Each structure stands twice: as C-alpha cells, then as structure tokens.
Amino acid sequence: MREREMTAIIDFGAQYNQLIARRVREARVYCEVFAHDTPWEEIQARRPRAVILTGGPASVYAPGAPGVDAALFQAGVPVLGICYGMQLMAHRLGGAVTKGERGEYGGADLDLLETSELLAGLGPGERVWMSHGDLVREAPGGFRVLARTANAPVAAMADPTRRLYGVQFHPEVAHTPGGQRLLENFLYRIAGFRGDWTVSSFIEDSVRGVASQVGSGRAVAGLSGGVDSAVAAVLVARAIGDRLTCIFVDHGLLRDGEAEQVTRAFQGLEGLRLVAVDAADRFLEGLKGVTCAERKRRIIGELFIRVFEEEARKLGRVDFLVQGTIYPDVIESGRHGASLIKTHHNVGGLPEDLGLELVEPLRDLFKDEVRRVGAGLGLPAELTGRHPFPGPGLAVRVLGQVNRRRLDTLRAVDRIVTAEIREAGWYGRLWQVFPVLLPVRSVGVKGDRRTYGQVVAIRAVQSEDAMTADWARLPYELLDRIAHRVVNEVAETTRVVYDITPKPPATIEWE
C-alpha cells in the first residue's frame, strides 16, 4: 500500500483556520493541523509533502508573537504562507513587515504583476478577500512580487527556487472566488500531490488505525443518536467486530420520542451490540439549580463518563471508549491554539481521571465529511442526514435552570417546529433548526386574559461545516404558522422570536 500523502497545516490561532483544512480536503489531499509551536522534527516525522502557514491575530514583530521552527524554511518542503503566515515568512527571511496606514478588511482587486504557477488561471483584477492590519512592505531577497492590491504592495510573493510562497489574502474563504484554484495550484503544480484522499481511503486507513490502537482489547461506544456517534461506532465495529459494545444513555435531555427512535435504529444495524441505559433521574439531579452553560456541559460530560464506566464494568474488561468527536468540537473547545468558545462535553468536559482510553476516529473530520463517510459505510439516509444535535441535549437549549417541566415545554415546541419545517420542505435546506426556551417571561393576552408566559426563540441556520453559519431566510408564512401553533398549542408560552444572528459573532447553539 502506498504511503498516504499529507499536507501539514500550521495553525497560528485564527478561529477559522480550519477552513483551510476543508479546502485542502476538497482538493482530495489529506491534511493534519499542528499548533505553531510544534517542533519541526515532530511534523517532519509525519512526512508532509507540503506545509501551509495559516493566518492569525498577532503581529509578527510584537513581543511573544507566535512563530515557527526556523528549520522549516530550510527543509526543501513547499511552503505556502497565508496572511499572518506570509508575514511571518517575510519577517523571518529578511523582508519588511509593518503596520499598514489603514487596515484592509473585505474585498480587494488583485493586480497581477507576474505569471506564476501559484496564480495560474487567475485573471487580472481577480477579487480576493483581505483581513489584515499589518502588511509586507518589502519581500525578502530571492522572492518575486507576484501581485499587489491598492493597500498591499506585496499581495503575493514567491521564491520558486526554495519553493516558498505567500499570499496576503485568504484563498480559503468563499469571498475569494479563485481561492480553491490557487490552493490546488499549490498542491498539484508546486507540491506534486496525486489527490488520492477519498472517503474509501479514509475508511480503509481508519479501520486499520483503530484495529492497531485497540489491539486485542474491548471497547464501548457512546451512541447519542446523532450522525457522529453512529459513524464512529460503525467504523470501530468494522475494525474490531463483536469486541465493541454500543451504549446508549438516555439522559432525559432528548427530544420527544428520541430515545425510542435511537434504540430502534441502532438495534437494526447489523453487527452492533446495543445496551440502553435510562439515567434521566441522575442527570436531572446533577443539573438541579445549575444555570451556567459551562457548568452544565461539564456536569453532563462527567456524568456521561461515569455511566459509561459503570456499564463497562458490567461487561467485564473494557479498555477503550469510542466517541464521535469531530474537528469543530476540538476547535471550539480551545484546542490547536484557538481560543475557547464553549466546552464540548466530549472534549473539555471529560474528567481527568477517565478510566478508559479514547478512540476518536472522526476527530479530524468536518460534519459534511462525516456524512460522506457514513454513506460510504452504508448507514441509512435517515441517520446520515439528521440535523446535528448537541451532546448535552436540551440542557443547552433550556437556558437557565433545567427541570422536567421546562424540558417538556421545549419538547412540545420542538415537535411543532420540526413538523412545520418538514412540511414546508425546508428540512433538507437547513443545517439546523431548533427552538430555545429563554429564562425570561413576557406579558401576553390569551382569551381576553393577561398571561405571563415563556418566551421561545427559533434558530434556523444554513452552513457548510458549522464553523460559520448564516441565519436562514425562512418564508414569513412559515414563521407565522410556527408562531401561531406554538402560542396556541403550548399553554406555557406567550411569545416567539426569531434569531437572525450569523456565526460569527454568535454560535449556532445559544449555550
């Protein structure tokens, strides 16, 4: 078997640098993300065919600015610096990086100065997306300036002899129409990739990797009913067979009828052994009086693990816990040098004395990639096509205190929202849609009487990977039907509002 080709992406802390990884994989090239302070020897041991330096919020000339091992630029491996990555390359190799007279944020027209392998296929006046306050005033010796914009004298540069390249703009975002072509130029024309990373190759490699990690051991998998845990479980089952037992924990925080639906779906999957555990009382007791979202997530994460450990002991010797952790979970929980947005219960919420070794075969995948892997594994469309549902369940959609009454109210609203969205043909067009029960009350009038009831927010978003998202422009008629049904059929509610905040600045979930 041929060795897998790999691009190393070195992360300098910008929150959405994982978009670069997405674009690289869309080009059928495998990539891995490394923190900027990873020693070059460690990265080199992974035998990367190319390196991409990402953007970041720092200034390269500021004290303590993140850097990179100097050996990288002498290794002979093709390197592409993007935004901060290009500035770092210029700064380290003798160029001049300064603060711009004004920041450049948004669209800009690229003025091509020279033909090059990197910019092949890009036309004059190419529209690109800028987001920087510093700029490369002068390229290092040996570099050619390939392009500029009105505010950036060096918008692209290259030293073909050393195979070092840089762009000030962001090719990874949709606002740079030629960005994917540029990345593919770097990967194929310059670095010489074959482009052989596919769903089938990922499945093959993952099965082999899990088999090697688990060896002759036994594992339990946490099933939530979502696509991530389902795909992870089936992938591991393919690697170790009946030495995997799947455990579904009903924490009392699921939607109406979901526990029964999940149990039926997974019992029907060939080769999966399923144990269902009703732990609702235990989770609700642990959440009693807790209003802080971070505390909720950590409490739920620890209780999950404790339940798993107890069930695992009933099975005899078990060494591994399978989780459906995916890349956005890792990023938002503050890994790879990014700042903490929220703790995902399966990442930052895990207890320190975890008694099982983690198996996370999907840890480096985005949600859409997980769906494709699930289809490649033969999972039914009703599983792979489900909207994402948070591991902490409705606990992070019931804002404030979580109790049975408030959960039941939210479940009733959720039934209405989901039914209307499906009936209108919008379910497949949305990344997620769900109601949120707010910790406030509002005055209303029902039957000529004053009411003082619950407020529900509806959240519907469209996205490719959940790292950025835009609010969905649902038809007014659809929103009107949802609002009327909610306030008429759910007695506890008085008011329905619609969330029109994109991500960023908001996250998709409210907590």
Task: Enumerate domains of the chain plus CATH numbers.
Answer: 7-190 (3.40.50.880), 199-384 (3.40.50.620), 403-498 (3.30.300.10)
Instruction: Say whether 310 is catalytic.
Output: no
**Residue 39: is it exposed, middle or buried by C-beta count within 10 angstroms (0-12/13-18/19+)?**
exposed
3-class secondary structure, 415: helix
172 classed as catalytic:
yes
* Annotation marks residue 344 as catalytic: no
pLDDT at site 273: 86
CA nearest to 396, candidates 290, 322, 303: 290
Q: Residue 157's beta-bridge partner residues?
A: 145, 166
pLDDT at 3: 67
Residue 435's pLDDT is what?
98
| Residue-level pLDDT at 353 | 60
123 neighbors 73 (Cβ within 8 angstroms): no
Given this model, what pLDDT does residue 182 score? 97
What is the C-alpha to C-alpha distance for residues 366 and 369, in angstroms, rounded to an integer?
5
Listed in sequence order, the residues at least 6 apart from 180 whose beta carbon sits closer than 8 Å to its beta carbon are: 23, 26, 27, 171
Report d(CA 241, CA 244) in Å as an integer: 6
Helix (H, G, I), strand (E, B) or coil at 135: strand
Task: Write the secondary structure of 5-38 as one string of H (helix), E (strand) and C (coil).
Answer: CCEEEEECCCCCCHHHHHHHHHCCCCEEEEECCC
Sign of the torsion formed by the C-alpha atoms of 300, 354, 329 and 321: negative
Q: 351 preceded by cis ω (within 30°)?
A: no
Provide Rg for the chain, Cα atoms.
Answer: 25
Q: What is the pTM of this model?
A: 0.69
Phi, psi for residue 118 in degrees, rounded to 5: -65, -45
E strand map for 83-218: 96-112, 126-138, 144-148, 156-159, 164-167
pLDDT tens per residue across all 511 residues of the chain? 456 789 999 999 876 677 898 899 999 999 988 999 999 999 999 999 999 999 998 999 999 999 998 899 999 999 999 999 999 999 999 999 998 877 777 889 999 999 999 999 998 889 998 888 889 999 999 999 999 998 899 999 999 999 999 999 999 988 899 999 999 999 999 999 999 888 888 899 899 999 999 999 999 998 877 889 889 999 999 999 989 999 998 999 999 988 888 888 777 666 678 899 999 999 999 999 999 999 999 999 889 888 878 888 888 888 898 988 887 777 654 444 444 334 444 444 455 666 678 999 998 788 888 989 999 998 888 788 889 888 899 999 999 999 999 999 999 999 999 999 999 999 999 999 999 999 999 999 887 788 899 999 999 999 977 777 899 999 999 999 999 999 999 999 999 999 999 998 899 999 9
Instruction: Show the tokens assigned to 403.
Output: 């109790």
The one catalytic residue in 172, 258, 302, 511 is 172
The one catalytic residue in 83, 91, 332, 492 is 83
Residue 419: closest CA among 433, 409, 398: 433
Residues 6 or more apart whose CB falls under 8 angstroms from that of 285 comprise none
From the list 36, 132, 170, 344, the catalytic residue is 170
